[in-house]
Amino acid sequence: MKPEAILVLPHLLVQNANAISSPLTHGFPSITAFLGLMWALERKLAPDDIPLHLQAVGVISHHHQEQVTQQGYVRTFNLTRNPVSQKEKLAAFEEGKPAALVEEGRIHLDSGRNLRSRRAAALVEEGRIHLDITLVFAVAEKRMAGGPPRLVQGGEAQMQEWASAAGAILSQMRVAGGTLLPSRPALGKRVQPWMAVLPEDHEARAEQFRWWRRQWLPGFALVEQAHLLSERLAKLRETNPDATLLDAWLHAARWNYEPVLPKEGETAPADWADPLRGKGSGWTVPIPVGYAALSPRHLAGTVDNARNMGTPLRFVESVYSLGRWISPHRLSQPEELWWRAEIDEVKGLYRCRNAYVPAPTDPDENADWDEDDDSYD
């Protein structure tokens, strides 16, 4: 089923979202969190008789503030002292002692005059981030048999009603583990949810998308750049034939400075730069894009302590790729923004896919501005 409209939830203020996106990455929630939010939102729309099928989601970040303390090149999460388990708190209460707090792997119990300690579970590390994001959903209508379509030109009043209802429902949900705050109206900023029909003609859709994407500036859209991983691997194998995809992914996740010799005839001293991150290359980042199965499917209720005993379960590990933060004005079609779920039961692969393909001759419109400088965001 092709997308018939877009649903835009602009400038969502998210407090304390999960900044640890995978065992190896941090700095922004995983795209899987937003796909999970999309499915949860669709389920909550059904009881209100809102016949919308959410097919894909695009994420645009306008501002982010990771809760970290930085000293030089080292960043440390701002952590809180979380209470210990309920069982240990009850034991301390029965003994007439105050509730203990976990600190550096030990519990300190104040008995009045004597202070004694015993081993406890280590402090659980939690990464948090504050976000200002816009979510753009691909929408199709769940039509009743024989009923007329309602996602058509001229049905703006009905679509606005659905968009407002979706925004009200989302305000009571968690976004990547964070809490939504009320958006404040601002001059020149559209903060209310809205919907619009997608033109069927390719050229007309591109023209309409040009007007929509202006509302998402300034901001950066997350797109997939998996082809950069194979290019990086080919580059590494020129000097190291035994290099693997993991080596290429780790190499792309960091800055690799090399001396750049001056051109022939120049007397300037050699400079240091990353030859694979030239000016205009964009902000390329390592991202998780889904999960790969570690075990066969277990029937519902056969695994103890599962989150949902009525759903089949499978143990998985994260799948990684490369992404890129680009300005929305560099997108030409909404399909380049959207992320979709792709499932391969035979391979045990549950992956998020994005259709962005950079233009082969994409001129650098802002050659004097360094896209790798995240101070703009």
Question: Tell me, what's the pLDDT at 277?
Answer: 80
pLDDT digit string, tens, across residues 191-238 = 899 999 998 888 899 899 999 999 999 999 999 999 889 989 999 999
pLDDT digit string, tens, across residues 265-300 = 777 777 888 888 877 677 889 999 999 999 998 998
H-assigned helices in 127-226: 156-170, 202-213
Between 114 and 239, the higher pLDDT residue? 239
Domain count, the chain: 1
pLDDT digit string, tens, across residues 15-32 = 999 999 998 898 999 999
Question: Tell me, what's the pLDDT at 123?
Answer: 55
CA dist., res. 144 & res. 363, Å (int): 47
The mean predicted confidence, pLDDT, of the chain is 82
- The per-residue DSSP string of 276-322 comes to TS-TTS-EEEEEEEEEEESSPPBPTT-STT-S-TTS-B--EEEEEEE
**Domain annotation covers residue 153:** yes
**Domain annotation covers residue 309:** no
CA dist., res. 197 & res. 44, Å (int): 22
> How much of the chain, in percent, has pLDDT values that exceed 90?
43
CA dist., res. 166 & res. 183, Å (int): 15
> How much of the chain, in percent, has pLDDT values that exceed 70?
82
Q: Which domain holds residue 209?
A: 5-67+127-224
Question: Tell me, what's the pLDDT at 89?
Answer: 63
| Angstrom distances, CA of residue 229 to CA of 16, 243, 248 | 31, 12, 6
Question: Tell me, what's the pLDDT at 160?
Answer: 92
Token readout for 34 is 């937003």
pLDDT digit string, tens, across residues 333-361 = 999 999 999 999 888 999 999 999 887 65
**Domain annotation covers residue 167:** yes
Torsion of CA 65, 69, 71, 74, to 10 degrees: -80
Q: Find the helix or strand (DSSP H, E) in which 249 lies.
A: helix 245-252
**Domain annotation covers residue 290:** no
- Res. 367 pLDDT band, cuts 50 70 90: very low
Point out which residues pair with 69 in neighbouring strands. 76
- 50-58 mean pLDDT: 93
Question: Tell me, what's the pLDDT at 329?
Answer: 92
Token readout for 23 is 């065992």
**Domain annotation covers residue 177:** yes
**Domain annotation covers residue 144:** yes
**Domain annotation covers residue 308:** no
**Domain annotation covers residue 40:** yes
pLDDT digit string, tens, across residues 99-150 = 444 333 333 334 343 333 444 444 567 889 999 999 999 999 888 776 777 7
- Res. 321 pLDDT band, cuts 50 70 90: very high
